[in-house]
């Protein structure tokens, strides 16, 4: 450790328990990154693991005093490098602040610390007959603080929306250590600018969330799933459009392409139909899900589905969802490494995006599997490549970029739910344009005039 | 007109049609204010009525050049003075930009200009089987631009949320005339800071919305309404808590107190039950609303309702809603003038707020009727007074303030849906505290460094 780092650790230890300040480089390096590919990461000088708001304030005051960059972290399951650190930084891990402070069935809110794991909260509220919808694939590991930082989505968004819609109020430690309260505990409120939403998805660049008031829903009935097979991705996308134009409100509407189906079968022998080009999974958690599935099944058939199979019960439904949840891991097994894109287009453009992605895969001679939150037009084209092959890695990166360009052309966004981080910051500039970028910089400087909060991320 | 105003009008006319620049003081004065009580208003130098984005840009460039304050306006149905002008200002009325540009049933979005009247949009999307939920009481007059500026609510919020939740993307003319695009047309998107939400509820202090992409829902079945009578407000609030804790999702859950009921009867002979202390109206727009109403009716009875009357059909339901919609106008007739408060508390505190409001009415010897979006804990204690009586007016203002203080004490907010404007800006500072206020000022200066956009409003 250099002298600066020694002094930094010393000052941090003055306001934190001994076990909450880690400086062993082997350990700090392991905290240096999230799960994104192609994003540089260094060796943080210190990892701090505070348990209280006051300890977080101490960390930020120290960082301000010494002008040391800080990256707030949850479970580091992010896919854009937003939680990556550079050499000499402070990693501020919130995982020890993991209390569920309050669950109120009348006000339908939960008050939580940022380190609570998504699944832990989900189970806790379920015991009160309540439901916290946002369910990113990593929900068994990822934290609510991380979900807020990256504005996470999940499978349920088509009906229930994303994390942003469930954050009512926040306590945030600012760059200089001051504590800010935003938002409210009430169902409605319009007092002042919406600072709460400004923090959601800001990837730790504006402040450190230390407490959140979350909105909850009543627990819906268990969902019933239908699977529909199509001989082309275009037909499956047509079915998605018919379902949504028909006024249906599925609790889930997912698409897996042939590459994804095969990858899942190879990994888990799930017996998915390999002859099909695209599989749609549609679910309802309504009072009469079988009736809703029947109506949707008819629309799928009209769009050219060759098979429409409603699950008979909850167990069958779970099996189908299991297959979908395995998709990304299964695609990773294809060539060892993946780059998971996150392009979201208006759902009317979903067919065009899938067709274009297939063209791009062919052009670059790559395997690109697509699974999608089809009802939201949010696709995850997943480029499979061998990271030890430099030439193939280059093609992977280029195809990834072309898919984003295509998404923008189709009126979409470069990120539906994974965020910008390091991975897409050049692309963010392209999506936002200079006027918006200028305002982004202005806002950043209001909250973090010294630029110590996760610098170099987002934009 | 003074020389400065003459020059201002001249410069504005260089980029606007002759009929779009009004300078007659009798006319400009009539544009000087919205519907709030107790808010000062002056005589604007000019009223401009642009039809295009370029014309709005010209207005803002001119205002920047001459450092003249601008207040953007919709239908001026606001209740906080946010649309009020001072002497010499430019009123920028968006009412001529009233096109519905696009309605898309697959993507479930509408693209509109800001001057579209809420009801016009609602009817237009209804023709496509779609639903734009936010329904402020003034929906037949108020504009979408005004709804966005004030983050309007309405009767449907308990199930469908407020305006903010339906704004996906905006085109905004900034103070210096630059055009900013925010947000997206897609169902999801997390590219950069949430500038869209920052504009919603900012009361024209950050920019001028010239186009909006709005999310739509499929049209739900017609709602069926139930009325329940209670012998105390406390029992009615208890019923609200039981309904929400019971996991029900009503499309409307409103409360009228005895004062309000009598006022409505006096005005419209609606035959509401005057012996009751509080009336709850609850509605469902589900597949089987009668079953849902039966369950809720049982909860009301358990909470002490003396009468539970489900509407037999849509016509009866409409009549009950009509009574609720007349409440504010009817209360205005009691003493000639009203101050309508807008305190929102966690719904578990609704009973305490009503009890406290009754105490305050007694203390100040005033008639204060309360109607409330009870399911959201959002109350409108409405102080009835004779504006020609200075002493009574003073008591009215004081009671109004005490109700806000009570709301904050109960963990609530000073404004659930009406906004801050001029009326509540001292109170906003009290609710937000110095750290938040500091950030508000910083954000304002990023968007409007010269302070020409609706200065003196909000904070």
End-to-end CA gap in chain B: 30
Q: Which of A106, A153, A411 sits opposite B188 (nearest CB)?
A: A153
**pLDDT above 90: residue B378:** yes
Q: Does B108 touch chain A (CB under 8 A)?
A: yes
Contact B436 A195 (CB under 8 A): yes
Angstrom distance (rounded) from CA B46 to CA B48: 6
ipTM for the complex? Answer: 0.96
Q: Are strands A90-93 and A70-73 parallel, antiparallel or unpaired?
A: parallel
CB of B442 less than 8 A from some CB of A = yes
3-state secondary structure of B378: strand
Contacts of B414 in chain A (CB under 8 A): 191
- Residue A431: its H or E element: helix A425-447
Q: What angle do CA B436, B441, B442 make, to 5 degrees?
A: 95
Angle (deg, nearest 10), helices B390-409 and B350-363 = 150
The CA distance from B318 to the nearest CA of chain A, in Å, is: 24
Among A181, A188, A435, the residue with its CB nearest the CB of B376 is A188
Residue at token pair 């630029």: A451
Residues β-bridged to residue A151: none
The alpha carbon of residue A143 and the mean position of all alpha carbons in its chain are separated, in whole angstroms, by 11
Rounded to whole angstroms, the Cα distance separating B98 from A424 reads 37
Distance CA A151, CA A146 (A): 8
Which of B181, B287, B420 is closest, CB to CB, to A191? B420
Q: What are the backbone angles phi and psi of residue B68, rounded to the nearest 5°?
A: -100, 130
Q: Is B456 helix (H, G, I), strand (E, B) or coil?
A: coil
Cα dist. B217→A55, A374, B133, B359 in Å?
A: 45, 17, 8, 42
C-alpha dihedral sign at A112, A118, A122, A123: negative
pLDDT of residue B38: 81
**According to the model, what pLDDT value does residue B195 have?**
98
Rg (CA), chain A: 22
pLDDT band at A269 (very low <50, low <70, confident <90, very high): confident
Q: How far apart are CA B169 and CA B109, in angstroms?
A: 10
| Reported confidence tier of residue A317, pLDDT bands at 50, 70, 90 | confident
Query: Nearest 5 degrees, angle CA B370-CA B372-CA B374?
Result: 135
Chain B residues 332-361 with a CB less than 8 Å from chain A: 344-348
A76 touches chain B (CB under 8 A): no
User: Which pair of tokens denotes residue A219?
Assistant: 């627990």
Which residues in B lie closer than 8 A to residue A417 (C-beta atoms)? Answer: 188, 190
Q: Which of B188, B288, B378 sits opposite A416 (nearest CB)?
A: B188
Q: What is the pLDDT of residue A38?
A: 82
Span A393-415, pLDDT tens digits: 999 999 999 999 999 999 999 99
Q: Which residues pair with B367 in a beta bridge?
A: B384
pLDDT at res. B1: 76
User: What pLDDT score does B376 carry?
Assistant: 97
| Contact flag A193-B195 (C-beta cutoff 8 Å) | no
Q: Does B411 contact A178 at a Cβ distance shorter than 8 Å?
A: no
Q: Which residue has tokens 């696709």?
A: A379
User: How many percent of chain A have pLDDT more than 70?
Assistant: 100
CA distance B196 to B198: 5
Please say whether the beta carbons of B185 and B213 come within 8 A.
yes
Helices A390-409 & A350-363 angle (0-180, nearest 10) = 150
Res. A1: pLDDT tops 80: no
How many Cβ atoms from other residues are within 10 Å of residue A126's Cβ?
12
Burial of B362 (0-12, 13-18, 19+ CB in 10 A): exposed
Contact A191 B433 (CB under 8 A): no
Alpha helices in B141-288 (DSSP H): 144-150, 157-160, 195-199, 233-245, 258-268
Which A-chain residues 357-386 have CB contacts (< 8 A) with chain B?
373, 375-378
Structure tokens at A72: 């707030």
Q: Which positions in chain B touch A440 (Cβ < 8 Å)?
A: 192-193, 195
Per-residue model confidence (pLDDT) at position A31: 97
How many CA atoms does the CB half-sphere of B413 hold within 13 Å?
27
Give B131's pLDDT tier (boundaries 50, 70, 90): very high
Q: Is the separation of the CB atoms in A308 and A276 below 8 Å? A: no
**Closest chain B CA to residue A241:** B106
- The number of beta carbons lying within 10 Å of the beta carbon of residue A375 is 26
Inter-residue contact B2 to B68 (CB < 8 Å): no
Contact A189, A169 (CB under 8 A): no
Residue A312 has pLDDT above 90, yes or no: no
What residue has token string 């409120």?
Answer: A189
| A52 contacts: CB under 8 Å, gap ≥ 6 | A97
In the three-class reduction of DSSP (H, G, I as helix; E, B as strand; rest coil), residue A66 is classed as: helix
For residues B347-361, average pLDDT? 97
Distance between CA atoms of residues B293 and B255, nearest Å: 16
Smallest Cβ–Cβ distance between B190 and the set A178, A249, A419 belongs to: A419
Interface check for A454 against chain B (CB to CB < 8 A): the answer is no
Task: Kindly give, in sequence order, each residue whose CB lies less than 8 Å from that of residue A409, ignoring residues fewer than 6 positions away.
Answer: none
Which domains are seen in chain A, by residue range? 3-93 (3.30.43.10), 100-218 (3.30.465.10), 224-409 (3.40.462.10)
Mean pLDDT of chain A: 96
Measured between CA atoms, how close is B97 to chain A, in angstroms? 23
Structure confidence at residue B108 (pLDDT): 98
Residue A317 neighbours by CB under 8 Å, 6+ apart: A222, A223, A224, A225, A283, A311
Mean pLDDT, residues A104-115 = 98
CB B439 to CB A447 under 8 A? yes
Q: Report the pLDDT value the prediction gives residue A51, as an integer from 0 to 100.
A: 98
B326–chain A nearest CA distance, Å? 22
Residue A401, pLDDT score: 95
pLDDT band at A158 (very low <50, low <70, confident <90, very high): very high
What digits encode the pLDDT tens for the residues A230-260? 999 999 999 999 999 999 999 999 999 999 9
DSSP state of A413: B
For the segment A317-324, the average pLDDT, to the nearest whole number, is 89
Q: How close is the nearest chain B Cα to the Cα of A430, in Å?
A: 11
How would residue B316 be classed by pLDDT, with cut points 50, 70 and 90?
confident
Backbone phi, then psi, for B262, in 5-degree steps? -65, -40
Is the confidence at residue B63, as pLDDT, over 80? yes
φ/ψ bin of A91: left (φ > 0), alpha (ψ from -120 to 50), beta (otherwise): beta
Report how far Cα B62 is from the mean position of its chain's Cα atoms: 30
Cα-flanking dihedrals φ and ψ of residue B342, to 5°? -150, 40
Give residue B128's pLDDT: 97
How close is the nearest chain A Cα to the Cα of B312, in Å?
A: 22
In sequence order, the β-bridge partners of residue B130 are B218
d(CA B213, CA B109): 7
Q: Write down how long chain A is.
A: 459
A277 has pLDDT over 80: yes
- Check CB contact under 8 Å for B188 and A344: yes
């Amino acid at each position: 450790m250099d002298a600066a780092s020694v002094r930094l650790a010393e000052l941090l230890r003055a306001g934190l328990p001994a076990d909450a300040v880690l400086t062993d480089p082997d350990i700090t390096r392991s905290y240096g990154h999230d799960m994104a590919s192609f994003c540089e990461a260094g060796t943080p000088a210190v990892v701090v693991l505070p348990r209280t708001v006051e300890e977080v304030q101490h960390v930020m005051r120290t960082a301000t005093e010494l002008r040391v960059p800080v990256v707030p972290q949850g479970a580091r399951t992010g896919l854009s490098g937003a939680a990556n650190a550079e050499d000499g930084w402070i990693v501020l891990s919130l995982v020890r602040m993991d209390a569920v402070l309050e669950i109120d069935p009348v006000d339908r809110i939960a008050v939580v610390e940022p380190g609570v794991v998504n699944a832990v909260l989900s189970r806790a509220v379920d015991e009160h007959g309540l439901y916290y919808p946002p369910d990113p694939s990593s929900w068994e590991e990822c934290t609510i603080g991380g979900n807020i930082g990256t504005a996470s989505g999940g499978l349920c968004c088509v009906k229930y929306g994303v994390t942003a819609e469930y954050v009512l109020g926040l306590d945030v430690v600012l760059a200089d250590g001051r504590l800010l309260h935003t938002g409210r505990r009430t169902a409605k409120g319009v007092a002042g600018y919406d600072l709460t939403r400004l923090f959601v998805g800001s990837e730790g660049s504006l402040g450190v969330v230390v407490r959140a008031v979350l909105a909850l829903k009543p627990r819906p009935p268990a969902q019933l799933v239908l699977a529909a097979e199509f001989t082309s991705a275009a037909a499956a996308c047509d079915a998605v459009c018919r379902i949504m134009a028909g006024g249906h409100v599925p609790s889930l509407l997912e698409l897996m392409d042939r590459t994804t189906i095969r990858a899942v079968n190879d990994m888990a022998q799930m017996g998915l139909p390999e002859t099909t080009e695209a599989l749609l999974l549609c679910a309802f958690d309504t009072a009469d899900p079988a009736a809703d599935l029947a109506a949707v099944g008819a629309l799928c058939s009209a769009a050219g589905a060759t098979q429409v199979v409603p699950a008979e019960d909850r167990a069958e439904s779970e099996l189908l969802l299991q297959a979908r949840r395995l998709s990304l891991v299964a695609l990773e097994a294809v060539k060892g490494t993946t780059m998971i894109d996150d392009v979201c287009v208006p759902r009317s453009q979903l067919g065009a995006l899938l067709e274009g992605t297939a063209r791009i895969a062919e052009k670059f001679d790559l395997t690109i599997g697509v699974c999608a939150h089809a009802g939201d037009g949010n696709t995850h084209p997943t480029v499979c490549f061998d990271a030890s092959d430099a030439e193939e890695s280059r093609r992977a990166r280029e195809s990834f970029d072309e898919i984003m360009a295509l998404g923008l052309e189709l009126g979409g966004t470069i990120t539906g739910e994974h965020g910008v981080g390091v991975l897409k910051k050049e692309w963010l500039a392209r999506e936002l344009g200079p006027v918006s970028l200028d305002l982004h910089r202005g806002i950043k400087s209001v909250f973090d005039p010294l630029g110590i909060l996760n610098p170099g991320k987002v934009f």
